[in-house]
Chain A
Amino acid sequence: MEKDPNNILEEVTQSEYKYGFYTDIEMETAPKGLSEDTIRFISAKKNEPEWLLQFRLEAYRKWLGMTEPTWAHLHHPPINYQDIIYYAAPKKKKELASLDEVDPELIETFNKLGISLEEQKRLSGVAVDAVIDSVSVKTTFSETLEKQGIIFCSFSEAVQKVPELVKQYLGTVVPADDNYFAALNSAVFSDGSFCYIPKGVRCPIELSTYFRINAANTGQFERTLIIGDENSYVSYMEGCTAPMRDENQLHAAIVEIIALKDAEVKYSTVQNWYPGNKKGEGGIYNFVTKRGICKGNNSKISWTQVETGSAITWKYPSVVLMGDHSVGEFYSVAVTNNYQQADTGSKMIHLGKNTKSTIISKGISAGHSSNSYRGLVKMTKRAENSRNFSQCDSLLLGDKCGAHTFPYIKTENKTSIVEHEATTSKISDDQLFYCNQRGIGTESAIGLIVNGYAREVLKQLPMEFAVEAQKLLSISLEGSVG
């Protein structure tokens, strides 16, 4: 059984490091289930200050009194929260000697995505030559960033290094009791990223180039906090186009972004978690709360997401436009195939005067999947002369999938303008025939048409990721048309 290449991947992701400090590793895992003891255990393991423990405990107590939301257009068996291990030391993957030992299917996907050999090795757990090891690259980056006063590290590290910054901002955008999954995350979050851009600093690099490689192992309850101080700029990329496999079925992350006066934060995600098999078995449940606040005047927060993975996606990256003249943007491509379900969209809450928001959502459904857009645009009384433009398009492949749009609009003043456009279309036989007649096979044709459809969103991505994301869209839809 061990020689079956299909099992290697599973083995790689599931087995713990077999040699050495085995006993120690075992002791670092909390028992199954969730209780105050579990939370104290996690907090102690991370050597956290008392206030953070209290933050977690308070969140937990609130969570106990909450119920799982049922309003989303999603269906799944009940989640047993007592059957989850909430703390495990980062798993050390078994190192493989060469790429020959990796699942050929995975290698094929890597090649289609155009991922370099070295990176393929990293992602699949093959030992990498120390000279080309990107740790040295990481060091170079870190030095560049440090010189400018940028703090970019893991969340746990930040708690130790800059506790006052974490304390000042943690939970200010997504309060611990914001929703059921946010409360759960606030109680048990594992790790994630912390980023602080000081006043007047324009981050010289995409905080992605190195992050991608280190994206793994943040655990299932990721917590990210990004602070753009006055007049700063940062472009941040989360995730990975390469397929991400994880045995943890439930993921509940929180991302909080704070943009102070004149600051701009651009956040891009590619989400490609395991979507389950063709019959809809397995796959990640991804319940994410992402929200940014344009706290200062003239600030800007922009979300761009490409969602192709997960069995279930529940995610509404939002912007609270508090400062006058602030700008919120949301660009999304969500692909569902086979039995995947996505209920995703955005919320734009206009509080400040002359604020502006844009929502561009492109849903692509294939197979037996279900793809919903859910969005809220709210113009409060104070938000005079504000504008929103929303465009929600759905593309259907085949006739067994579903697309739904749930736009909510609330306007409390008379000077704001909200525009909403929605379309539903199909890839027509005429389009496919036209492409085929030029020599383009059906799968390539679908890739071409889908990428054209999503172009408005893809062009928002940092260049290198745009290219990979294009390929990813095609790969996600392979075999979706007979």
Chain B
Amino acid sequence: MLSIKNLRVSINGKEILKGINLEVKPGEVHAIMGPNGTGKSTLASVIAGRDIFDVEEGEIQFRGKDLLDMSVEDRASEGIFLGFQYPVEIPGVSITNFMRTAVNEQRKYRGLDPMPANEFLAKMEEKKQMLEIHAKLANRSVNEGFSGGEKKKNEIFQMAMLDPSLAILDETDSGLDIDALKIVANGVNKLRRPDNAFVVITHYQRLLEYIVPDIVHVLFDGRIVRSGGKELAIELEEKGYEWIRA
């Protein structure tokens, strides 16, 4: 589904990713772990298409298409979702309006008519139920005045609404209390299907107690230095990142 080959990325002349190789297949959950400042968020942003980074070398293929030539919104419509570490506030824009615009723009890209209003509202209600989000999200402005936990839950809610093929969650667990963490993990587990995939970026092993990954990668100094099964995460937690460095 996602195939990254020898990806080298820099910002302002400073190399951050130094040759990343990553293969994600449908149905898989990958975890990318690593200390702060090793390029985890950069990798997520580059896959999503943020243009502040310079791709020096390498390629990213997504379902057979070359991603690097595509705009951010086209990548999203192709089925890539990024759960943000720090979701921004958009004052005055209700979540309903925001999601409706997003859903319909993606439908337009795929040659579909806009979703009828009643169908859309029913879908919103269904996803809220599924994720056990009880808050009255719909009429609040996007992320405005949200607590850290609410922002992250809102990211998961948006993911459920957009139903991406590949969801990349960038430190979605950071700053969450255990209840919010469970809602986030629960959301991912309920959305897992044989035809979609997740890349979960996290600093701690904690989230991986709730989302069980198929493959764990350790990113260190711009390179994936080790990949393995879910035991790798536990090993990391026990030995710390110093163990990798050594």
Instruction: Tell me the A residues contacting B by CB distance below 8 Å.
Output: 428-431, 433-442, 444, 448-449, 451-456
Contact = CB atoms under 8 A, between A and B. Distances in A.
Given A436-B72, A438-B98, A439-B162, A452 B105 contact: no
B76 interface: yes
A436 B158 CA distance: 14
A112 to B, nearest CB: 15
A448 B158 contact: no
Contacts, number: 73
Given A433-B50, A434-B84, A444 B92 contact: no
Interface centre among A436, A438, A453 (most CB of B within 10 A): A438
Given A433-B50, A439-B102, A452 B90 contact: yes
30 contacts: A429-B52, A433-B48, A433-B50, A434-B87, A434-B88, A435-B90, A435-B98, A435-B102, A436-B71, A437-B48, A437-B73, A437-B82, A437-B84, A438-B98, A438-B105, A438-B162, A439-B73, A439-B77, A439-B106, A439-B109, A441-B71, A442-B73, A444-B101, A448-B101, A449-B90, A449-B93, A451-B92, A451-B93, A452-B141, A453-B92
B82 A453 contact: no
Contacts of B49: 436-437
A306 to B, nearest CB: 15
A438 B88 contact: no
A444 B90 contact: no
Contacts of A439: 73, 76-77, 102, 105-106, 109, 162
B91 interface: yes
A436 B101 contact: no
B97 interface: yes
A458 B229 CA distance: 54
Nearest to A433: B50
Contacts of A437: 48-49, 72-73, 76, 81-82, 84
A431 B106 CA distance: 18
Contacts of B105: 438-441, 444
A13 B87 CA distance: 49
Interface of B: 48-50, 52, 71-73, 76-77, 81-82, 84, 87-88, 90-93, 97-99, 101-102, 105-106, 109, 141, 158, 162
Nearest to A362: B92
A439 B106 CA distance: 6
Contacts of B91: 452-453
Contacts of B90: 431, 434-435, 448-449, 452
Contact of A428 (B73, B88, B141): B88
Contact of A452 (B50, B87, B92, B109): B92
B92 A436 contact: no
A438 B162 CA distance: 8
Contact of A440 (B81, B92, B101): B101
A348 to B, nearest CB: 24
A435 B99 CA distance: 10
Given A428-B88, A431-B88, A444-B101, A436 B76 contact: yes
Contacts of B102: 435, 438-440
A134 B105 CA distance: 36
Contacts of A442: 73
A250 B206 CA distance: 68
Contacts of B72: 433, 436-437
